[in-house]
Structure 1
Amino acid sequence: MLTTLTALMPVILVIASGYLIARTGLITGEQWRGVERLAYFVLFPAVLFRTISQADFASFPTLNMGASLLASIFAMAVLLMLARPAIERVWGIDPGRFTSIFQGTLRWNAMVALAIADNVAGDTGLAMLAVAMVFMIPVLNVLSILVLSHYASGTAPSGARILKDLGTNPFIISIGAGVLLNVSGLALPGVIDDTLAVFARAALPIGIICVGAGLDLRSLRRPGPALTMGTFLRPVFMPLLAFAFASLFGVTGPALAIVIIASAVPCASNSYLLARQMGGDAKLMAEIITLQTLVAMVSIPLALLLFT
């Protein structure tokens, strides 16, 4: 437990620093948008491209990891859909609020996951986490859009738009480019590799500072059934499902730790944007993101202790 906490404490403290920086006004709202775009479109893609281009995929169970993560996602999605009528009947949670619970339970913050994977397993952890992204990002985006289009009042994007968004996702592009370079057998020129290494050193702290800056503790209401479910279903049940399927597919060691990290990190901040765009309950979504991030400071170490 102490070793896990030691690895996670720097990430937690940097998130807290981001929150304090935002509250002091040192960086203002629009300036934060620029920093977030820098991290999303430049710094993290540089990390992923460099890591994947140099990864030894034969050294870890790529397909088994992917199967474990996808199985846990689909299992939880099915359970939520089956439980939806009872959730509405017993707690009065309408379909729009259900969509925020759905996103809060299934979607993940890849920036936080990358930072933790780097601290826990180094470059190998980053490579395995990038593999998890390939499997998870397209599926989670499509599932979230389908549920919002069915239960919320907004207009769903077309299939072509979804494919375009996935095809222009900077994480997916950088991972794909890294895979191509990796299988080609070519190596990055030294000066390019050194440049990307500088970007990589900046990416993780800047990315998780932005996570902290996005927290809005003032928005939290007194927890009700919707916020409670949206907050705790993910940290409690997603690591449990991931561990069960990882055991089924024979995933152990550092690969298991990465599967647990990908399943235990809090919900992605862009879930709020999707909820707002498609008519979901954006306020509830913002509250879930904030509270989940706070809970994750305890739940992630516990998940790693219990399941790895």
Structure 2
Amino acid sequence: MQLAYELIAAIFPIFAAILVGAALKRYLIKAADVWAGIDRLTYYLLLPSLLIVEIYRADFSSGNAGTAVGVTLAATLGLSAALLLLRPLITRDTPLFTSIFQGSVRYNSYVLLAVADALYGAEGLALAIIFVAVMVIATNMLGVVVLSAFSGGKSNLKRIMGGIVKNPIILAAGAGAILNVSNIHVPLPIENTAALFKTAALPLSLLSVGAGLRFIMDKKALGAIALATSIKLAVLPVITGVCLYLAGVDGMVLAMGVLYAGMPCAGNAYILARQLNGDAEAIASIITLETLLSAFSVAVIAGVLSIN
């Protein structure tokens, strides 16, 4: 009972902040420009500050994070291959298939970082950042390739791929890693300034996640929405957990891999679907449902991992 209470106490504020963001967008701060500004502030300044500071300060001399990330990536690629092979059985509606695919393999890095920080503190946050740095490239690439192949959305492909390479999250993770391994001493005033910015990253990003939810279900695609949600919140975490266990990964590192796999789909999957002619309404519904249900699935995953 005490364990359940502690898990709820850790996870509740994350999803409460998401719901507050949704309520603010609906009732108080309705202007889209305001939320667009918050998104840019978080994406280009606050979250990069968080990544640089935490990676710079982290101790990566021990543990098997590299193995865990590699196995997690392999599990994601394996699931992706299975979805592609089973596409004729899943649906013949190719734009809808791209939404099922994105909803099954994409993840929300903001929620992952917040969950890692809440459950495992600074050490867990630093570990989650390693997953983010690698998987944000892989899952974005997968989404772009599948959308381009099945929806014919190639007109913006070069620009989108360039945007992935220039992603501030990737650049910040790289900068933090260089500072960490090179033993470069960052002057304390500069480090403290970046640390000040990073404190606002997670609260604002969670509010932004909530503001981006669209509470209109695409009724013509209910089966696809349920399938993608089931795969993302249940099937992929189980597959990833088994693979990590068989690879000899345990403890917090295993937990982080499973939690990563169980994160809801990223909000920018909707933007990608619009840019590359996917089924934007279906992926919007998938994102909303996964985000809401992940409040429960993440608690279950954390509980099972804590017991074991």
Give the TM-score normalised by structure 1: 0.93
Aligned position for 1:231: 229
**Structure 1 runs of 4+ with >6 Å offset:** none
Q: What one-letter code is carried by the residue in structure 2 that aligns with 1:3?
A: E
- For structure 2, the residue ranges without an aligned partner over 5 or more in a row are none
CA deviation map 1:10-61 (0-9, x unaligned): 1011111111111113251111011011011110000000000111111331
Q: Provide the C-alpha distance between the structure 1 equivalents of 2:97 and 2:221, rounded to a whole number of angstroms.
A: 15
Q: What one-letter code is carried by the residue in structure 2 that aligns with 1:153?
A: G
State whether structure 2 residue 64 is matched by structure 1 residue 65: no
CA deviation map 1:181-213 (0-9, x unaligned): 111112321111211121111010000010111
SS at match of 1:187: coil
Q: What one-letter code is carried by the residue in structure 1 that aligns with 2:23?
A: L
SS at match of 2:193: helix
Aligned position for 2:78: 75
Q: What one-letter code is carried by the residue in structure 2 that aligns with 1:98?
A: F
Q: Provide the C-alpha distance between the structure 2 equivalents of 1:41 and 1:289, rounded to a whole number of angstroms.
A: 23
| Amino-acid identity (%) | 35
Aligned length: 303
State whether structure 2 residue 112 is matched by structure 1 residue 113: yes
CA deviation map 1:222-261 (0-9, x unaligned): 7621111122210011110110111122221111221122
Aligned position for 2:279: 281
Change (3 A) 1:218 1:164: closer
Give the TM-score normalised by structure 2: 0.93
CA deviation map 1:120-142 (0-9, x unaligned): 11111111111102221121122
Aligned position for 1:146: 145
1:1-308 to structure 2, matched below 5 A, reads: 1-88=4-91, 93-155=92-154, 157=156, 161=159, 164-221=162-219, 224-308=222-306
- For structure 1, the residue ranges without an aligned partner over 5 or more in a row are none
CA contact (8 A) 2:218 2:281 kept: no
What is the root-mean-square deviation in Å for CA atoms of aligned residues?
Answer: 1.7
Change (3 A) 1:6 1:96: same
Q: What one-letter code is carried by the residue in structure 2 that aligns with 1:31?
A: V
Q: Report how far residue 99 of structure 1 moved.
A: 0.3
SS at match of 1:208: helix
